[in-house]
Structure 1
Amino acid sequence: MDRLLSEEVVKASDVLRDYVKHTPLIHSQSLSNKCGNKVFLKSENLQHTGAFKVRGAMYKMLSLGEDARTHGVVCASAGNHAQGVAYASRLLGVSATIVMPERTPSNKILATKNLGADVIIHGETFDDANRKAQQLRDSHSLIEVHPFDDFHVMAGQGTIGTELLEQLDSVDVILVPIGGGGLIAGVLAAVKKSKPDVQVIGVEPIGACAMFRSFKEGNMVELTQVLTRAEGAAVKRPGLKAFDVVRRLCDDIVVVSEESIEEAVWTLMRDEKLVVEYAGALTVAALKMLPSRNKNVICLVTGGNIDGSLISETIRVCSDRFAVAGAVGV
């Protein structure tokens, strides 16, 4: 599986060159000063649709034959994968049905509809929406484009790993956010094959840490509930295929608090002038957990599709917090 996925990432990197942006790797002096390492931000919030998810969605769609595409596709998503699938579907002329949980931010629902997809709102969580998507797959003979537990989706996401190694010669640590695990599985396959000494560390919100617990306990864990504003990481159970890669290749997984994520979003906005959603800022929230060793650390900043009201609330809360504490930064 690891070798096959690594080989598929190489193929995906070549195929996707004409379809996705080569996003910038930005050095952050302010974050570097605060954590004692040299910090670089892989800014996938600047990708098409505002998130990395378009990579996996596009590669999956391109891997389908023309006959398969005529059936149409279906997926479940809390937002970014939905937009990725809708974007790829519009570009390739494929009909798309997207099932989104009730708690999906309105901006993500609207963006998905504007890209031409049929949107169904169903269930409180991603897992509820996913069951509905699978029912539609079976009843309407649609092709499922799973957001993380799919070989071609993981390979597409893994092209980020290939890309960042081309952008920076010396990499010591890569911090990767985790929802269902497709991104980190793809990055592990890309990075560990060519540079096995690079540390790859996953990051999850403490209120949705299914992969963290699965990794630590050595078997798949399903949470009874998830509680986080990082809706892109609000998954009760990691993907089986993704976990199979993560448990063998990942160096470590850490969890971060909601307050840390909130402050990371605020810091990226204030210091780096980057608009980043909560799931996209997980890696920056984890920087303070690394020892200060002057290492080259890459944070995958995976999405910028944050609701305007949440931006306003984050600015207000963090401004008040830092004013009272007299503190600055993450």
Structure 2
Amino acid sequence: MVDIFGTLGPSCEDLQILSDMFRAGMTGIRINLSHVMLKDCIESISRIKKAAEKNNIAPIILIDMQGPELRIGKFENSYNLKNGNTVYFGEGGIPLDKEIVAQINVGDEILIDDGKILARVSQTDGKKILMQIERGGVLTQRKSIKIVGRDITMPALTDDDKENIGLAKEVGITGIMQPFARSRDDLEQVRKALSENECENIRIYAKIENKAGIDNLESFIDLCDEVIIARGDLGNCMPLWELPHIQKTISRICNEHNKPFMVVTQMLSSMEKSAIPTRAEVSDIYNAVLDGASSVMVTGETAIGAYPGDVIKYLFNTAREAGKHPEDARF
């Protein structure tokens, strides 16, 4: 059976809602540590375990690490960035890590918050950058940032990641999701950190999110326990019409190596606001399972959406229906 994952968030913190999600077919849950530390999630983890126990389920609890993903820094409130605005990032402006600022050049196109905001760099002195907003939006802290056509070099594990791994075994984490897995070295660093904290039984889920991850997948696939086709950032590093082929390619590689894989991002995105999904969304889930996915996951749909229990119901039932018809994979 395919594992069904939701993502923890304000919409599903309640014990009864979590219980309803497990009853609807959820087998595991993701905790996103991009914005919080694991030590701040202990009460939530306790509720997850209680909700799962009520449904006789041993939950898979995954923590999604910070890793080398590029993100805006922390700040209060929000910025309403409008088309044509010029805005400073870095020293004296919107917080941005100095290691990122130092590698950004004049003329670079910058995608922010999974591409919702688009900006172009007009000035930089290595400490701060001036960007002109070409596609505006509301910016809140810790949103993703992507330099179009280029990769920025960052360590595989942040100091926060290492602290979170140190607590993972104690609080019952069963797997870690390593963002932007790029090479054997990245996963060797993760395995070393797990070993140093006596967490060898914690599974590693390698998120494929950029070109380096795609190109090098076969060279490090043996070092992870499961591959994640993370279509959000993958879709930012290529034209969207190329993404289906890349998803199929990664699926094929995983099947050839007998490596389990998960498909994530916008599986039921419309259900953040709608009680029912689109036909395209259920077809997407169905085809991902036919391609061999061992897991499917939703993110904002359960974390901040209006119908977390119904989301899991559609995700589970669609995946189960695909499992009844393996012959459809031939078409």
TM-score w.r.t. length of structure 1: 0.36
Larger Rg: 2
TM-score w.r.t. length of structure 2: 0.36
